[in-house]
Amino acid sequence: MSSESSRSRIPEAVLARAPKVLLHDHLDGGLRPATVAELAEQTGYEALPTADPVELGRWFRDAADSGSLVSYLETFAHTCGVMQTEEALVRVAAEAVEDLAADGVVYAEVRYAPELFVERGLSLDAVVEAIQAGFAEGERRVAAAGGRIRVGTLLCAMRQHARALEIAGLAVRYRDAGVVGFDIAGPEDGFPPTRNLDAFEFLRTNNAHFTIHAGEAFGLASIWEAIQHCGAERLGHGVRIVDDIKTDSDGTVHLGRLAAYVRDRRIPLEICPTSNVQTGAARSIGEHPIGLLARLRFRVTVNTDNRLMSGCSMTSEFAALSEAFGFGLADLEWFTINAMKSAFLDFDRRLDIINTVIKPGYAALR
């Protein structure tokens, strides 16, 4: 892409220090394996495949590697299984902030579905309050150690349940307490986003932000519905937009009407490369559509999705992409600014992070 691009790898230490912005990261997909094991013991959760943290970490990655979104989602039974008490939620949220800061992330939007953490009687409000307390605690610990990170929350509704309007209400109710937006997650096939039109209309009339998981396991119809019927501001994944892009044998590229609309309107794509390979949405990192989408200047952002299941971080995603596509620091800065511009944070705060953290951070690396 840029003149700086070359196949030479950027040193890991430089990648680790580069400021990063993460818009698509699931709280229940990012636990430390040791924390899963300890919380299972503390909360009496007995269904873990092993109590050994190293084996457990490997088990999560292997199970997620199976190539199907359905079995990938099964791994969440265990993480959600140990996230059913306020103490557990505070701990998991605080550790997520510490881990992201250690990865060089300066702004993150971390998402979760509150309805998955009420099996032992917590109310939806108690779940949100515990996790906000955990994020605040994590931000405090990072600041005390001399770091800087800000975390916003996205509340997800699960596509296969029927609580989207209720969760949208929760997102609006807690928007002054750190919740910056809403999302729907879970199996795409058979659960089109238009099942939740009432929730999206409620959000729009309340001037609230939302993204929708679309175009991961399922194709263009899902993306089209998410944008044109539901009004999604961003696309969770959205990689199947490549199905609307044709490349001739001489290399000429043709965008269909939907792809052109997504690019013209600068609709952000929350792309999660390793996760897409695990679920079969892309064959390999090298064959991932992100190379083409970035070359065509779609509003591409790079994300982790589920750090535990994918065994990844923002640093490892940047490293893999840099190696596969020759992205240089200028390209990584472009992904990062794309993400910050697309965040659901107030405009003045987004601008402040771009100008006082991201741009000087990349300048210092050159």
Within 325-364, which residues bind Zn ion (CB under 5 A)? none
Give the ranges where the chain is alpha helix by DSSP (H).
Answer: 12-17, 33-43, 53-64, 69-74, 76-81, 86-102, 124-144, 164-173, 197-205, 220-224, 257-264, 273-279, 290-295, 307-310, 314-325, 329-342, 347-353, 359-363
Closer CB to Zn ion, 23 or 319, in the complex:
23
> Residue 95 corresponds to which tokens in the numbers above?
């550790």
From the CB of 71, what's the least distance to Zn ion, in Å?
A: 15
Site for Zn ion in 288-317 (CB under 5 A): 305
Considering only residues 26-45, where is the footprint of Zn ion by CB under 5 A? none
26 is in an annotated binding site: yes
Q: Minimum CB separation from Zn ion for residue 11, in Å?
A: 30
Write down the catalytic residue from 98, 139, 216, 225: 216
Q: How far is the CB of 160 from Zn ion (least distance, A)?
A: 15
Query: Was 288 annotated as part of a binding site?
Result: no
Nearer of residues 139 and 305 to Zn ion, judged by Cβ: 305
Query: With 0-12 CB in 10 A as exposed, 13-18 as middle and 19+ as buried, what is 52?
Result: middle
CB nearer to Zn ion: pick between 225 and 305 = 305
Query: Is 254 annotated for ligand binding?
Result: no
Distance, in Å, from the CA atom of 223 to the CA atom of 216, rounded to the nearest integer, reads: 9
Quickly tell me which residue has 């029927």 as its tokens: 162
CB 343 within 8 A of CB 21: yes
Q: Which residues have a Cβ under 8 Å from the Cβ of 223 and sit 6 or more positions away?
A: 214, 215, 235, 238, 240, 241, 258, 262
- The nearest distance, CB 22 to Zn ion, in angstroms, is 12
The least distance separating Zn ion from the CB of residue 156, rounded to whole angstroms, comes to: 8
Judge contact between 304 and 30, C-beta under 8 A. Answer: yes
State which residue, 84 or 211, has the beta carbon closest to Zn ion: 211
Q: Write phi, then psi, for 245 (nearest 5 degrees).
A: -125, 125
Does the active-site annotation cover 333?
A: no
Which residue of the chain is nearest Zn ion when measured via CB?
305
The answer on whether 176 is annotated among ligand-binding residues is no
Question: How many residues make contact with Zn ion (CB under 5 A)?
Answer: 1
- Closer residue to Zn ion in complex, CB, 186/256: 186
Is 256 annotated as a binding-site member? no
Query: Residue positions in the annotated binding site for Zn(2+)?
Result: 24, 26, 213, 305
Catalytic residue annotation: 216
Query: Residue positions in the annotated binding site for substrate?
Result: 26, 28, 186
Query: Residue positions in the annotated binding site?
Result: 24, 26, 28, 186, 213, 305
Residue ranges that bind Zn ion, judged by CB under 5 A = 305
